[in-house]
Amino acid sequence: MVSKSQIKLITSLEQKKHRTKMGLFVVEGKKGIEEVLESNFELHSLFTSQDIFNASPEQTHLISEVELNKISRLKTAQIGLALFKIPISSKIEIEGITIALDGIRDPGNLGTIIRLCDWFGVETLLCSLDTVDCYNSKVVQASMGSITRVNINYIDLAFFLKENNSHLKVGTFLEGQDLYSSEFPKDAILILGNEANGISHDIEILVEKKINIPQFSNANNTESLNVATATAILLSEFRRKENY
């Protein structure tokens, strides 16, 4: 059975201020929970309608599907919901390609970008303070467990870029150089901007190399690329160039 205090806690974690205060975030679904359980993230409590997870009995609460549906944020609850402790941020160490996000607001975009970092071996993801919280449940869901394998840091991005002299600062702009004819060093910070407004002025003035993903169609009314799609193309091209 789920107690009223447990329901209150789970519900409160929908808001960032409560996630920060309690140091907890929510993971739903069998695959997502299993991925995080296998990581070094610490489990707080697990609510499940099926006793199939490799978690301690003291932290596992077997509940009915009706109860699970009451606490789930999904349209259809998926076997389990778990609370994990938010890890303490470690010192930022960047090597090779690093992604920096300037004001990304869509949870699905951030979750997908985290997955892309994991896929392309990008160990560090830098996020401006106004980027959506990576422990937002929609971000966690979209990251598909990759959130446990990427070092995500929320920082004063402009200050960090001013202080960093080890990596070329690369930004995506419509007037930038064609991605496919550009050369890049092994160590680069790839900056991507807000979905509606792109890279902010405070960050743009710190960019050392502007690049652009060329459009091959002649249609003038084609929407600009989704930021997560652009990230996938850029990382793929960066990695391809490393091998030539």
Average pLDDT of the chain is 94
The whole model's pTM is what? 0.94
Q: Is the pLDDT of residue 223 over 80?
A: no
Averaged pLDDT for residues 212-219: 86
pLDDT digits 0-9 by tens, 11-32: 999 999 999 999 999 999 999 9
> What's the confidence (pLDDT) of residue 79?
92
Q: Please state, in angstroms and rounded to a whole number, the distance separating the CA atoms of residues 21 and 16.
A: 8
- pLDDT per residue over 115-163, tens digit each? 999 999 999 999 999 999 999 999 999 999 999 999 999 999 999 999 9
Longest dimension (CA), the chain: 61
Question: Do 12 and 22 form a contact (C-beta atoms < 8 A)?
Answer: yes
CA 20 remoteness from chain centre: 17
Q: What is the pLDDT of residue 184?
A: 87
In this structure, are residues 28 and 81 in contact, taking their beta carbons and an 8 Å threshold?
yes
Domains and CATH numbers, the chain: 4-85 (3.30.1330.30), 97-242 (3.40.1280.10)
CA distances from 178 to 87, 183, 185, 243, 244 (A): 39, 10, 16, 19, 18
pLDDT (0 to 100) of residue 76: 83
The share of the chain scoring above pLDDT 70, in percent, equals 98
Determine the average pLDDT of the residues in 100-111.
98
Which of 30, 25, 2, 1 is closest to 12 using CA atoms?
Answer: 25
Tokens 């109860």 belong to 67
